[in-house]
Amino acid sequence: MTTIYLKRHKEESLLRFHPWVFSGAIGHVQGKPEEGDLVVVRSAEGETLGIGHYQEGSIAVRILDFFTDSLPSDFWQERIRAAYLMRVALGLLTNDNNTYRLVHGEGDFLPGLIIDVYDDTAVLQAHSAGMHIARKEIADAVVSTVPQVKNVYYKSEGTLAMNRRFGDIENCYLIGAESTCLAKENGLVFSIDWLRGQKTGFFVDQRENRRLVERYSKHRRVLNMFCYTGGFSVYALRGGAERVCSVDSSQKAIDLVKLNVERNFPACTNHQAVCADAFDYLSKVQQDGNQSYDLVILDPPAFAKHRGAVRNALQGYKRLNAKAFEQIAPGGILFTFSCSQAVDKEMFRLAVFSAAAMSGRRVRILHQLTQPQDHPINIYHPEGEYLKGLVLYVE
């Protein structure tokens, strides 16, 4: 097997179980690794540090197992089983809930792999060539471990850059076929379009935060900005909102939110879905002089996809939140999120703070939110903490 020797003193982070080897840490390579190959990593002195997937680029190796030079034959089975047992232990699989993240990359000691489960279907997404190569073994391990799952859909066209070794990567069913299952989250049902939708089809990571929106929605006029499938809208309606407006710039998202509201509340007359740009919509509401919302949710796509984009992203968060502070009704509650991994908690809070100060309003923090328990953070890999939210009371 190919062996990668690190430069002197570059083993420190691996000794602390951080699962990434950066290309700059590599001293020399014995063999000619191809993208996705399993490689052994050793210190300059020859100590075995671990085994992992090789990839060209800044993260050269993602470690799967430490201080060994081989993986056990039941490796995938064992890791998937550990992930599943944790979800069961956390009480995520109930009659009311069949939607959860089964594998969250580094958080489940499987760097480069995401698996979301929607009732009888698992959607598998590879973020590394190594996980692409292992996809069939992984799919087998999922089906043999999770009794409810009968179908495994592979969706990596968008996450794996075109790769010389594999050519074009196609989305397809690895096991089973399309099912008509409905995803259930905390007793609410959702149509999920994993074939055409964003990511794996649904944003599972907002489950607990949606519950909090439900708690604060009674008698409030709710604006769900960047609504996508309408998760927050449906919870707000169940929570007794006076009315809910869902806004997204994608017509497909608007069609989905309408479908999901209809599924849960067939007789609903207090929901409106608008296809519009967030900034335009908020400006228009403000120009109307109509401070018409007293609970606003801002859950935009990641403004910074990489470190180089952080400065612009922070400006974006500031502008967006400033718009919300300008128009939210007195006594209003703002739920504001960032899912950019490159923007940390402090930076995000500072951007929101600047927006609040510009508005001159009295603002207090009620809750500080993060990702739910099925998106665990590996304690040795703090980069895994990506979702940040603030719930603010605006006078």
Site of interaction with ligand SAH (CB under 6 A): 203, 206, 226-229, 231-232, 248-250, 253, 277-278, 299-301
Cβ at position 237, least distance to ligand SAH in Å: 14
Token couple for 231: 């998760």
Q: Which is nearer to ligand SAH, 145 or 336 (CB)?
A: 336
Cβ at position 302, least distance to ligand SAH in Å: 9
Q: Which is nearer to ligand SAH, 152 or 227 (CB)?
A: 227
In three-state secondary structure terms, 347 is helix
Sign of the four-CA dihedral 16, 29, 114, 349: positive
Cβ at position 213, least distance to ligand SAH in Å: 10
Cβ at position 257, least distance to ligand SAH in Å: 9
Task: Please provide the DSSP assignment of 197-251 as one string.
Answer: SSTTSS-GGGHHHHHHHHHH-TT-EEEEET-TTTHHHHHHHHTT-SEEEEEES-H
Q: Which is nearer to ligand SAH, 181 or 274 (CB)?
A: 274
CA–CA distances in Å: residue 11 to residues 15, 55, 166, 170, 384? 6, 18, 31, 37, 21
Q: Which is nearer to ligand SAH, 131 or 212 (CB)?
A: 212
Cβ at position 78, least distance to ligand SAH in Å: 32
The C-alpha atoms of residue 92 and residue 373 are separated, in whole angstroms, by 9
The C-alpha atoms of residue 373 and residue 174 are separated, in whole angstroms, by 27
Pair 115, 101: CB distance under 8 Å = yes
- Number of neighbouring beta carbons within 10 Å of residue 88: 11
Cβ at position 188, least distance to ligand SAH in Å: 12
Cβ at position 120, least distance to ligand SAH in Å: 21
Q: Which is nearer to ligand SAH, 21 or 227 (CB)?
A: 227
Burial class (CB in 10 A: 0-12, 13-18, 19+), 180: exposed
User: CB within 8 A of 31, min separation 6: which ones?
Assistant: 1, 2, 3, 39
For residue 113, list its beta bridge partners: 126
Cβ at position 226, least distance to ligand SAH in Å: 4
Q: Which is nearer to ligand SAH, 5 or 190 (CB)?
A: 190
Pair 1, 40: CB distance under 8 Å = yes
Q: Which is nearer to ligand SAH, 12 or 277 (CB)?
A: 277
Which stretches within 244-339 are classed as H helix?
251-264, 278-287, 310-327
Cβ at position 17, least distance to ligand SAH in Å: 32
Token couple for 23: 């290309």
The C-alpha atoms of residue 120 and residue 222 are separated, in whole angstroms, by 33
